[in-house]
Amino acid sequence: MNKIIDYLKASIEEMKKVTWPTKKETYNYTLLVIFISVGVALFLGLLDIILTKGLEYLITNK
């Protein structure tokens, strides 16, 4: 039981050392993640369409 209490105390001390982002930084990073996610989704969707059309062309025109 003593080890658990020591662990919790050490965890609390470490959390006090953390530098938390400001509200503006959090907002900016959230927007960045959303835009990158949408960009990757669009890229993968477009790649999927192109590869599907190419495969359909190869299969139907032999």
Residue 7 belongs to a domain: no
**Domain count of the fold of the chain:** 1
Let me know if residue 12 belongs to a domain: no
How far does Cα 3 stand from its chain's mean position? 35
DSSP string, 1-62: -HHHHHHHHHHHHHHHH--PPPHHHHHHHHHHHHHHHHHHHHHHHHHHHHHHHHHHHHHHT-
pLDDT digits (tens, 9 = 90+) for 19-41: 999 999 999 999 999 999 999 99
Residue span of the structural domain in which 54 resides: 20-62
Residue 8 lies in a domain: no
Is the whole model's pTM more than 0.85, yes or no? Answer: no
pLDDT value for 61: 82
